[in-house]
A and B are shown apart, each in its own frame.
Chain A
Amino acid sequence: MFGDRGLGWKLGAALAVALGLAFLSARRAGSTAPDLLGCKAQPARWDGTMLRIHSARVVESDTAGFEIESDGVSARVVPAAAVAPGDSIDLTGTFRAQGQFVHLTEVRKIGGLKGPARLLSLVPVMVLGGVLLNLLRHFTFRPQALQVGRSPGGPGEGPRTLDAGAPPGAA
C-alpha cells in the first residue's frame, strides 16, 4: 500500500476517487441543494428551498427589505435587516418562487475588522514572517561553512574549507 511498486497507479487511483467524490458532491448538490442561480433559473422547482448565501454584497436597502448580489446573481431579500448598501453579508433564508425573493432567516455581516481585532489580525502575519525568517536562517546557502572532510595528518591532507570568495587552489 505504501511501497514504490505501482506508485503512479496508487496515486492516480487516490486522486481519481477524491475527484470523483468532488464531482458527485457537486452533482448531488445541484439536484438537492441549489445555489441562488439554480433557484432563479428554475423558481418553481426550488420554491421553499433553504438557501445559505455566502459573501453576498448588499446593493440597496429600504424599509421592506434589501437587494443582494452574489456571484453575479442578484436577489431581493425580505424583511429588512440592519444592513446598508456596500455591506458584505452571509445569510440564510427560504427561496420563494412567487416574486422570486429570499425570505430571510438569519443575516451576518462579514469583514471590516476594527480596533483590537485589526491589531490581532497582524499577529498571524507576524508569526508567518517569523517562520519564513527562521527557514531562511536554516537554509541560506553559506559556501564558507561547507567543510570538505579529508583525513588529517597526511601531507596536504588537512581539512579544507570551500570558500566561494577564495581564489582557485587557495582552499
Chain B
Amino acid sequence: MPDLFTHLATARLPAAFVRDPRIAALVVIGTFLPDLTSKGFYWVLKCTPNFEVPTHSLVGVTLISYAASLFLEERLRRAAFPALLAGGVLHVLVDLLKDNMGVGSCRLFYPFSPRSYELGLIDPVDVIYLVPIDLILLWVAGAIERSRRVRG
C-alpha cells in the first residue's frame, strides 16, 4: 500500500500540469498499470515472478499502455496512449530507486538486454517513510490544479 501510494503521489504531480482532466487521470492510471499487470500474473494467473519481468521493462510498458489505450473511445486514444505510457515509465523510474540487494529492480531494456538495474536509494521496507513526502507531493499537485481553476 505505501508503495502504491508513492506511485500515486509521483504521478499526480506531473498530471497536475495536464490541462485535460481526462488525460491527467490517464497519467495516474498509467502509473498503476505495471503493478496491476505484474500482480495479475502473480495472484490471478499464479505465475512465477519471472513472468512479471516484461511488465517493468520499457517495451512491456509500451505494449501495456497501447493495449490499455485501445479500451478507450477512439477520439481519446491518440492522446491517451502517451499519457498512459508516461505514467508507466514514471512507475519504472520510481521502482529503479529501490535497493533490491544488488539484484536490480527492473530489467529496463528487456527483451533486448537481460540486465537488471537499480539505483539502490531506498530499502523497500523503508518505503513507508516516504509517506510524508508523498503527502507533500499530493498537496502541491492539488494546489497547482486549484490555482489553474482560479485563473480559469
Chain B 8-28 interface 0/1 with A at a Cβ cutoff of 8 Å (1 = within): 100000000000000000000
Contact in complex: A14, B66 (CB < 8 Å): yes
Contact in complex: A14, B102 (CB < 8 Å): no
Q: Which residue of the partner chain B has the closest CB to A2?
A: B77
Contact in complex: A25, B69 (CB < 8 Å): no
Cα distance A92–B102 in the bound complex, in angstroms: 9
Residues of chain B lying within 8 A (CB to CB) of residue A26: 47-48, 50-51
**Size band of the B side of the interface?**
35 or more
Q: Which of B49, B77, B111 contacts A24 (CB 8 A)?
A: B111
Cβ of B144 within 8 Å of any chain A Cβ, yes or no, is: no
Determine the main DSSP class of A at the interface with B. Answer: helix
Determine the main DSSP class of B at the interface with A. Answer: helix
Task: For residue A3, give the distance in angstroms from its CB to the closest CB of chain B.
Answer: 6
- How many Cβ-Cβ contacts under 8 Å join chain A to chain B? 106
Residues of chain A lying within 8 A (CB to CB) of residue B78: 2
Task: For residue A75, give the distance in angstroms from its CB to the closest CB of chain B.
Answer: 17
Cβ of B152 within 8 Å of any chain A Cβ, yes or no, is: no
Cβ of B52 within 8 Å of any chain A Cβ, yes or no, is: yes
Q: Which of B47, B123, B124 contacts A22 (CB 8 A)?
A: B47
Cβ of A123 within 8 Å of any chain B Cβ, yes or no, is: yes
User: Which of A61-69, A77-85, A106-114, A136-144 interfaces with chain B?
Assistant: A106-114
Interface centre among A10, A25, A28, A92 (most CB of B within 10 A): A25
Residues facing B in A106-162 (CB within 8 A) are: 106, 108-110, 113, 117, 120-121, 123-125, 127-128
Q: Which of B54, B70, B102, B110 contacts A7 (CB 8 A)?
A: B70
Task: For residue A154, give the distance in angstroms from its CB to the closest CB of chain B.
Answer: 36
Cα distance A128–B5 in the bound complex, in angstroms: 9
Q: Which of A11, A22, A108, A109 contacts B53 (CB 8 A)?
A: A22
Residues of chain A lying within 8 A (CB to CB) of residue B111: 21, 24-25
Residues of chain B lying within 8 A (CB to CB) of residue A15: 67
Cα distance A142–B66 in the bound complex, in angstroms: 36
Residues of A participating in the B interface, judged by any CB pair closer than 8 Å = 2-4, 7, 10-11, 14-15, 17-18, 21-26, 28-30, 32-33, 35, 52, 54, 90-92, 105-106, 108-110, 113, 117, 120-121, 123-125, 127-128
User: 25 pairs across A/B with beta carbons < 8 Å?
Assistant: A2-B69, A2-B77, A14-B66, A14-B70, A18-B60, A18-B63, A21-B59, A22-B41, A22-B47, A22-B51, A22-B53, A22-B54, A25-B50, A25-B110, A25-B111, A26-B48, A35-B50, A92-B103, A105-B101, A109-B125, A120-B2, A123-B5, A124-B5, A124-B134, A128-B1
Known pairs A14-B66, A124-B1. 12 more at Cβ < 8 A?
A25-B50, A25-B51, A25-B110, A26-B47, A33-B50, A52-B100, A52-B101, A106-B101, A113-B128, A117-B129, A120-B132, A124-B134
Residues of B participating in the A interface, judged by any CB pair closer than 8 Å = 1-2, 4-5, 8, 37, 41, 47-55, 57, 59-60, 63-64, 66-67, 69-71, 74, 77-78, 81, 100-103, 110-111, 114, 123-125, 128-129, 131-132, 134-135, 138
